[in-house]
Structure 1
Amino acid sequence: MNRQNVEVVKAVDEQNQVQEQEQNEEQVKQPPQIRMKRFNFIILLVVLVFLSVGITAFALSFGKEPHPVVIGGKSEREEFNKLYKAYDILKEGYFEDLDEGKVINGAINGMIQSLDDPYSAYMDEEAAKQFHHSVSSSFEGIGAEIQEKDGHIVIVSPLKGSPAEKAGLKPKDLVLMVDGKSIQGMSSTEAVMLIRGEKGTKVELTIQRPGVEGTIKVPIIRDEIPIETVHGEMLEDGIAKVQITTFSTNTSKELVETLNGLQKKGMKGLVLDLRQNPGGLLEQAVAISSMFVPEGKILFKVEDRNGNVKEYKSENEGNPEFPLVVLIDSGSASASEILAGAVKESANVPLVGQKSFGKGTVQTAQDFPDGSNVKFTTAKWLTPKGNWIHKKGIQPDYKVDLPDYVNLPYLDPKLELKLGSSSNEVKTAQQMLAALGFNPGRTDGFYDEQTVKKVKEFQAANKLPETGAITGDTTQKIIEKLQEKIIKDDPQLEKAVEVLKKEMK
């Protein structure tokens, strides 16, 4: 919700990215119990003066001693003399001509990296262009949010229905290589540029999954990722489920439209699903939180580096008349956590699922005249009760884990697994078959006659050639059926419905 630079190059917590045209758009008509006010949200913007001064300094004449900046007749910023001198030395003495723009970008990027903050980043003109574009439109890529952590690129969360989700990427997967190229030590911005690409093109990620031996190669076909962020459906007994996949420009409007539609279908209670939601625009988290938190109650607090704390309160004119339960997991981050913390502590809404990601800082972004951009952390955010959840996450009221098969590694359809094979891939395939009801009797990675028998049974049940080997279409069908089972058999959602029914009595 950082969180970090992202594969989708999403503006995570960048309030200043909300387009001004949104202020003039017609508001969605809402029933009395689902009303929102337009928020005049005060953006905490910290201007990094040293960056603008540094860029100006790079334009000084070459071959001369660097000059300190003079303001009002007084020498200032003398700490930059060493930087100017280093530039002059390279310009005069390096054995090849300098790429001046590259050197300047590198210097700025070095400043940001020295902060040791995975949520601060420098983006060149091209990366910044994609950053702005993807806040409120579709984009092409794999649909996963990433962050840089301890020199590694980590998957925060794949987006719902994205190629990344279909390929089996999970939160906390470490991305080691992209198309065979190591990305160790790269910034998230650099990794994004390698992972993104045109629809229909292929990218192969080599990942390391916690708790799984060895590495896994995951081929993914890039696609267009639409920014449709709200998905609603009726379940049973007047209970509706609404999933918010990310907080984009129009998410609050999408949510209002969805809730209005569900009310017409007889909604009496709501499960709000924030699982695998990596965050997004803070302004949207504020608007949506206010829909479920009573007017005047605290949504969250912001603490600056001097310890000054500002409270942000709900501006809701009326509370929904239906009870609410919220689902969270380890992929719920940033703006998702703001919403979860707000409803939990200020509206007594129960949380179900797993501990959230733990991203408790706020970022803003500032453009340079050439179109490049710097994103940096401006403050901490705290829950209504003053808790800082950074690196700790929010604990659910009802902890519910998912079945082990949900975290099984990706199985490459190009591999051929057959009688006599012995490998980790065979072990994965056996575990998948067992989860689907075709238990081979062993999951130790050895492909025996019993495994052949169960594979043939699976193939017959799915109208596939009964070869007894796992490859190609058989592998694809196993993956497809497992994904269907994961969606259908959802113990976290079942628990949320159980809790909600008690709330509805």
Structure 2
Amino acid sequence: MEQDPDNRQTKKVSLTVYMLSLIVVLIVGIAGTILFVKSTDSNQEAKKLENPSTEGVVASDSNLKQVEELYTVLSENYFEEVDSDDLVEGALEGMAGALDDPYTQYLDVSESTSLQENTNGEFEGIGAEVMKEGEYVRIVSPIGGSPAETAGLQANDLIVEIDGESVAELSLTDAVALIRGPKDSEVTLLLQRNGEEFNVTLTRDAIPVESVIYELDEDQLEIGYVRITNFNRPTYQELVDAIEDLKSQGAEKFVFDVRSNPGGLLDSALQISNIFVEDGLPLMQSQGRGEEPYVYQADSENLGDYKYDGKAVLLTNEGSASASEILAGALSESADIPLIGQTTFGKGTIQNVVPLEDGDGEVKFTTGKWLTADGEWIHEKGIAPDAEVAMPDYQNLLIVNSEETYQLGDSSDEVKNLNAVLDALGYGTSESESDFTEDTKSAVESYQSDKDLEVNGIVTGSTATNLVEDLRTLIEENDTQYKEAIKVLNEQ
């Protein structure tokens, strides 16, 4: 969770002083760096988080001498000409990396620009938040409606390669740069899930700007469904408008959904939590180094005067992170609203952003941790739901690539995924079989016949596209978590 770039601390730090005097407190991180160029930023109201300071924090003379000496040795004696800017950039990146904090990293000018674009919801990419984890890049969450979600990417999938290049030695920044790209361009990821590897080719797109999607339940028109995909500047008003619109259509109770929502601005999370919590009750707490927790309370005057106190439930899963978890904690602990689904991701830290004076880069670093309304730190643990409900196994299946050809005799993880898709759709194959067998061919022919497609037992083009569409429909029709939410809501 980071500070809103438009409201962040403006105090600058000399890059020269930073490098030569080694004022080590200003170390930057990009918290859960994001593939689709979206940030999980926050606007810090607690004064202890608003004023990061470097005064009085100075490295020892011996350390300074070593840094200066290394810089001089490499600049003057390396066998090729050295770009001094590269040395400085490397020092900044390495210093941030030394903290072993995936949410702390140096931002160069391009990344700093992206951070600003992120918060405004202006981005193109595949639509997934990621973080570096050892030799892999871990997916925190795909975004609703994004190419990543459409392709079936899941929270906790591990990226092994990007367009054939291993991510093991790449920084998170470099990995993100490879994954990002203009709309309609393609990127191929080698992923690992539950110990098995497979390739997925995604077409980058403009990620949907809307952060709130809503509709009436098709069977029970008194129930409104509202999905919050991220927490950006317009989200509060979008949510208020959604609730009011659904109420005007007859909705009397609501299912709110933050599944696979990777987070967003802290002020947005506070505003939205405030909708459901009585003024004066706690929303969350934040705690800086060596300080007592600061309690954020529901406050209509400062956080918005719109309130909803009717029946409601909140859907969560392992892709619900950061600001989503703040909302989940506030609703569960201070508004007595049930959580349905799966345990959330578990990101319990807050980040801040500070520009460097002599350069165009910025430092983004973990400045504290946040606690739930009751004072629990959920970092790396998440928030458990009141009703634990898993989705069907076939939700985890990947798309069948329509640009590839799968036929009798093939053997691969992609064929294994194909067999599982066919099995889920009711065409009997062995879902654990990695081979395209005669049984697979027969299942494909039956499917093609039922769909009025060319019957040839080969999966490519329109056959693959139809399989993906039917699988997506199957998942939507068998949303076990949503069905449990409706049940709980009707029992309230």
Tell me which interval the TM-score lies in, with the shorter structure as reference length. 0.7 to 0.9
In 2, are the aligned partners of 1:14 and 1:365 still within 8 Å (CA)? Answer: no
**Paired residue for 1:343, among 308, 331, 347?**
331
Mapped partners of 1:159, 1:267: distance in 2? 26
Where does residue 360 of structure 1 map in the other structure?
348
Mapped partners of 1:43, 1:455: distance in 2? 62
1:332 aligns with 2:320: yes
CA deviation string 1:140-178 (max 9, x = no partner) = 111111111224211111111111111221111111111
Moved more, 78-87 or 407-416: 407-416
1:110 aligns with 2:94: yes
| Residue 295 of structure 1, CA deviation | 0.7
Where does residue 396 of structure 1 map in the other structure?
385
| Residue 131 of structure 1, CA deviation | 1.4
**Structure 2 residue identity aligned to 1:45:** E
Q: 1:133 to 1:13 in 2, by over 3 A?
A: closer
SS of residue in 1 equivalent to 2:368: strand
Mapped partners of 2:179, 2:205: distance in 1? 12
CA deviation string 1:312-342 (max 9, x = no partner) = 1111357414211000000000000000001
SS of residue in 2 equivalent to 1:134: helix
Where does residue 7 of structure 1 map in the other structure?
35
CA deviation string 1:465-505 (max 9, x = no partner) = 111222232122211211121122100000001101112xx
CA deviation string 1:435-458 (max 9, x = no partner) = 112224675344444433321221
**Structure 1 residue identity aligned to 2:201:** P
**Structure 2 counterparts to residues 133-212 of structure 1, below 5 A:** 133-211=117-195
Mapped partners of 1:447, 1:141: distance in 2? 33
| Residue 390 of structure 1, CA deviation | 0.4
Where does residue 247 of structure 1 map in the other structure?
231
| Residue 46 of structure 1, CA deviation | 5.3
In 2, are the aligned partners of 1:251 and 1:284 still within 8 Å (CA)? Answer: yes
In 2, are the aligned partners of 1:152 and 1:185 still within 8 Å (CA)? Answer: no
Moved more, 458-467 or 314-323: 314-323
Mapped partners of 2:42, 2:345: distance in 1? 19
Mapped partners of 1:117, 1:307: distance in 2? 20
| Residue 420 of structure 1, CA deviation | 4.2
| Residue 402 of structure 1, CA deviation | 0.7
In 2, are the aligned partners of 1:227 and 1:248 still within 8 Å (CA)? Answer: no
Q: 1:421 to 1:126 in 2, by over 3 A?
A: closer
**Paired residue for 1:444, among 428, 433, 449?**
433
**Structure 2 counterparts to residues 239-278 of structure 1, below 5 A:** 239-278=223-262
Q: 1:424 to 1:498 in 2, by over 3 A?
A: same
Where does residue 45 of structure 1 map in the other structure?
50
Mapped partners of 1:391, 1:224: distance in 2? 31
**Structure 2 residue identity aligned to 1:486:** I
Residue correspondences, number:
457
Mapped partners of 2:61, 2:483: distance in 1? 60
1:282 aligns with 2:284: no
**Structure 1 residue identity aligned to 2:269:** A
Moved more, 324-333 or 128-137: 128-137
1:469 aligns with 2:458: yes
SS of residue in 2 equivalent to 1:266: coil
| Residue 270 of structure 1, CA deviation | 0.7
Where does residue 499 of structure 1 map in the other structure?
488
Moved more, 490-499 or 476-485: 476-485
Q: Which runs of 5+ in 1 are unaligned?
A: 17-39, 55-75
SS of residue in 2 equivalent to 1:49: coil
